DNA sequence: ATGACAAGCTTCGCTTGA
């Protein structure tokens, strides 16, 4: 049986419990990384997931950010600190029982190119890159998943001209992905489907999902050592037509055990 | 030039998201 690794920016785990339940029923997963849980740790619905056979690890805060890993098997070496300068909950790494180390990330959006938030996004990505370099030396079988707030190429954007000066497509941000690729990481979906047009996020406004106007900003990257195990990858875009959806779809990859 | 949806907190209005 292949191992299913999935990632989903749920935009509030408490608001999204019905959708999480129905998606997990339609596609059983072995390990699921969540972003934007928007819940402090004491209020995380840990018991709900334990009752359904998951080991939950999570690091959240009120209102914003928040990351979690739900695993069918115990995890170890859990780390949530990216550095003293980063107090927001956007990073969670763990050793899994599925033959790889996992990093779950929720990259800052960056607001506008001129904003302090964009400077923070660049600083954050710099720290992430340093951490990944360290981790990769120790754990060559490394999966890097989450909401990157980064569209790798113009074909990942429904209207590239409209996003030409965007914090999601800016050269400095795309360079961080290229640095990861230089370390040997591969964008699994793009690797399997070089020409596919598929998105993982749609604006809630303007009927963007219905019109097919989205972005592919959620990614599952596998290290060079782990890539030979990749069998399938996909984006569960149909989740967007369900009631009260997240603005992001779950993404998944199947790996050989 | 602007808002449009959605969620949570600052809760009947504001901030943030992407």
**pLDDT tens digits for A56-90?**
999 999 999 999 999 999 999 999 999 999 999 99
CA of A110 to C1' of B1 (A): 22
| Chosen CATH of A3-255 out of 3.40.50.300, 3.60.10.10, 3.40.630.10, 3.80.10.10 | 3.60.10.10
Average pLDDT over residues A239-252: 96
> Does residue A106 have an active-site annotation?
yes
**Average pLDDT for A28-34:** 98
User: Using one digit for the tens of pLDDT, what is the confidence trace for A223-237?
Assistant: 999 999 999 999 999
pLDDT at A48: 98
Return the domain boundaries, chain A. Answer: 3-255
Cα separation, A165 vs A77, whole angstroms: 39
**Predicted structure pTM score:** 0.97
Give the pLDDT of residue A108. Answer: 98
Within 10 Å of residue A118's Cβ, how many Cβ atoms? 19
pLDDT of residue A183: 98
Strand, coil or helix: A57: strand
Give the contacts of A70 (CB within 8 A, at least 6 positions apart): A29, A31, A32, A34, A49, A54, A55, A56
Q: Provide the pLDDT confidence category of residue A215 given band limits of 50, 70 and 90.
A: very high
Q: Which of residues 167-226 of A touch strand B (CB under 7 A)?
A: 168, 201, 203-206, 215, 217
pLDDT band at A257 (very low <50, low <70, confident <90, very high): very high
Q: Taking residues A40-61, what's their average pLDDT?
A: 98
- Cα A65 to its chain centre, rounded Å, is 12
Catalytic residue among A147, A187, A218, A247: A147
Nucleotide nearest to A12 (CA to C1'): B7
CA atoms within a 13 Å half-sphere pointing along the CA-CB vector of A124? 22
For residue range A104-132, list pLDDT tens digits in order: 999 999 999 999 999 999 999 999 999 99
Stretch (H or E) spanning A67: strand A67-71
Q: Supply the DSSP string of A5-19, one letter for each residue.
A: EEEEE-S-TTTTHHH
How much is the mean pLDDT over chain A?
A: 97
Taking only Cα atoms into account, the Rg of chain A, rounded to an integer number of angstroms, comes to 17
User: What is residue A129's predicted lDDT score, i.e. its pLDDT?
Assistant: 98
CA dihedral (A215, A109, A124, A135) positive or negative: negative
In chain A, which residue ranges form alpha helices assigned H by DSSP?
17-26, 46-51, 116-138, 171-182, 188-192, 208-211
Q: Which nucleotides of B are covered by protein (CB under 7 A)?
A: 3-10, 16-18
Residue A30 DSSP class: S
Over range A157-179, report the average pLDDT.
Answer: 97
* Cβ–Cβ under 8 Å, residues A217 and A152: no
């Amino acid at each position: 049986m292949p191992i299913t690794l999935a990632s989903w920016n749920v935009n509030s785990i408490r608001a999204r419990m019905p959708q999480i339940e129905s998606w997990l029923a339609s596609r059983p997963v072995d390990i699921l990384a969540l972003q934007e849980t928007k819940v402090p740790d004491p209020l995380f619905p840990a018991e709900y997931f334990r009752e359904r056979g998951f080991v939950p690890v999570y690091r959240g805060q009120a209102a914003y950010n928040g990351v979690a890993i739900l695993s069918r098997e115990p995890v170890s070496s859990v780390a949530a600190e990216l550095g003293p300068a980063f107090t927001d909950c956007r990073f969670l790494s763990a050793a899994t029982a599925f033959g790889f180390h996992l990093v779950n990330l929720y990259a800052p959006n960056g607001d506008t190119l001129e904003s302090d938030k964009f400077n923070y996004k660049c600083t954050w990505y710099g720290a992430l890159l340093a951490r990944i370099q360290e981790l990769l030396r120790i754990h060559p079988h490394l999966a890097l998943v989450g909401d990157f707030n980064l569209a790798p190429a113009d074909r990942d954007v429904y209207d590239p001209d409209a996003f030409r000066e965007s914090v999601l497509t800016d050269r400095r941000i795309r360079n961080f992905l290229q640095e990861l690729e230089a370390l040997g990481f591969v964008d699994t979906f793009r690797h399997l489907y070089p020409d596919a047009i598929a998105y993982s996020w749609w604006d809630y406004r303007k009927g963007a999902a219905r019109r097919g106007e989205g972005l592919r900003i959620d990614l599952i990257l596998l290290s060079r050592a782990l890539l030979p195990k990749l069998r399938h990858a996909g984006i569960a875009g149909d989740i967007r037509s369900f009631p009260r959806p997240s603005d992001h779809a779950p993404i998944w990859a199947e790996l050989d055990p």
